[in-house]
A and B are shown apart, each in its own frame.
Chain A
Amino acid sequence: MRDNMIVIDNLHKYFGHIEAVKGVDMTVDKGEVVAIVGPSGSGKSTVLRCINHLEIPTSGSVIIEGVNLEGKSVNLNEVRAEVGMVFQQFNLFAHLSVLDNVTIAQKLVRKRSKEEAKEIAMQQLKRVGIPEKADAYPRQLSGGQQQRVAIARSLAMNPKIMLFDEPTSALDPEMIKEVLDVMLDLAEAGMTMVVVTHEMGFCRAAASRVVFMDGGQVVETDTPEVIFTNPSHERTQLFLSKILAH
């Protein structure tokens, strides 16, 4: 029996009259790194945002560690505390220092003491390689540094799952590597991760499975080797030929 962390069942999401996600099924096992790839507008970010219910699915269900988020008595805040999320635009709290960014949710949600939260925050900032920026403000950091702080902010909550929504798409090329390195470390440490990305190098290096989405549906799911060398669907081949052309 596999250890399912996330089970997505027949997920549909409408925005007004537009159906962004058309019946997606997906499972993510403990310790797996699942990369979701596909052309823009294919619904991959929407699927990711439905996992922690930042978007409420129109129909279908999301089950995290056996808890069905559609259930009436579910405390979404408790579930979200276990599911870290990293955004394309970092979304660091602009009015707080780096340290406060990483400690505030620990104090408010995890009810940790100031000292404990600070200690954990410094550990995580060391892990992402920028402990010296603890007193800086987000606007004083480069994009890559901001994204690493955002990762530390999520990790400080000790999540069981990490979601990444195109974490390197807003970065200058020279900063992409520093963020991907942190993500690779995290994958090697056994974190369960779902990553929406255009970084095929990262998929090859870290993904246990690649999910190719197009038009709001999952077209094909397989290991990176198979997807990149021998995809079975024409749409997958077409997409890969475009992004791997140069």
Chain B
Amino acid sequence: MTGPELQIETTTDWRGSWREFPWWLVAIIAFLVMMAYLIITTPNFNEAFNFIRGGLQVFNEEGQLEIVATGLSMTLQVTLLAFAIALVLGLLAGLGRISHNIVIRNIAVTYIEFIRGVPTLVLIFTLAFVIVPAVSDALGIENSLEQHWRAIVALAVIYGAFLAEIFRAGIESIPPGQMEAARSLGMTYSQAMRHIILPQAIRNISPALGNDFIAMLKDSSLVSVLAVRDLTQMARLYAGSTFRFRESYLVLTFFYLTLTIILSLFLRWYERRLGKQGS
């Protein structure tokens, strides 16, 4: 396998294949190639690219070993960690949402509706500057949580609420007979959920989870408001110090678009594979 298959259907009708051909992808790749060309050949673009990409800084000012990720590695770190935590939160809240226990169900619904009713940027401020300090005070922990960890917590809590609805829909998409059969064999509710319902539900919702991963990658740019040195923050710093706004933000766009296109092509390929297995 050389990479994602780009053609949606192979058809003998050449006019059909002409219509089905992913011209949108050609346009986007043309943009990316043009940007790559500019980055390679133009010193200003090249400098912006290298600055925004950032890297791993292994030693801090005092010469101690401390790994500080900036730019691309910070964006990837924030996205991956926040998504992993959000998956756990989402699963728990999704299960709570369909629980027969009134208390659990209402806690889950409150969480989901609260998060969904407030803009993401506002939530990031509130979580990072109000909730996280309050919780660490209450727990008696010194309020020293690094800013990028606050950002990760904020994104995880926000996306947990969205993933909860995906998990709920996935569980509800499984025919009730599956649960009945499992229970009739003597399995407990949680055994049936874990071994029978969730494996099928997660398979069904994996494309939706992938879409939310891409959405989270993009929303991770919001953490730049917490001065976390992700791609966006690096671009802002570069633009602020050089006034090369065009270079900064075109290169920034290039970064995000490259990442999301790769992910969404992978997702399309994966969905096609799932579809083939299912039939």
Contacts and interface: CB of A to CB of B under 8 A. Distances in A.
A108 B184 contact: no
Contacts of B203: 95
B132 interface: no
B195 A54 contact: no
Contacts, number: 61
Chain B CB within 10 Å, residue with most, of A54, A78, A108: A108
B186 A54 contact: no
A218 interface: no
B178 A77 contact: no
B203 to A, nearest CB: 7
Interface in A155-179: 157
A104 B195 contact: yes
A108 B180 CA distance: 16
Nearest to B192: A108
Given A89-B177, A91-B177, A91-B178, A105 B200 contact: no
Given A94-B200, A95-B200, A157 B178 contact: no
A80 B184 contact: yes
Contacts of B181: 85, 87, 91-93, 150
Contacts of A87: 177, 180-181
B182 A105 contact: yes
Contacts of A108: 187, 191, 195
Nearest to A77: B186
Contacts of B196: 93, 104
A80 B182 CA distance: 10
Interface string B172-201: 000101101111111110010001100110
A52 interface: yes
B184 A109 contact: no
Interface residues of A, number: 25
Given A95-B199, A104-B195, A157 B177 contact: no
Interface string A76-106: 0110111111010101111100000000110
Given A95-B200, A108-B195, A81 B178 contact: no
A26 B187 CA distance: 27
A52 B186 CA distance: 10
A192 interface: no
A209 interface: no
B185 A80 contact: yes
Contact of A77 (B177, B188, B195): B188
Contacts of B177: 87, 89, 91
B185 A105 contact: yes
B232 to A, nearest CB: 40
A153 interface: yes
A197 interface: no
Nearest to B279: A139
The 8 closest A-B pairs by CB, nearest first: A81-B186, A105-B185, A91-B181, A91-B177, A85-B184, A109-B186, A80-B186, A77-B186
Given A81-B186, A83-B184, 4 more contacts: A80-B186, A85-B184, A91-B178, A154-B185
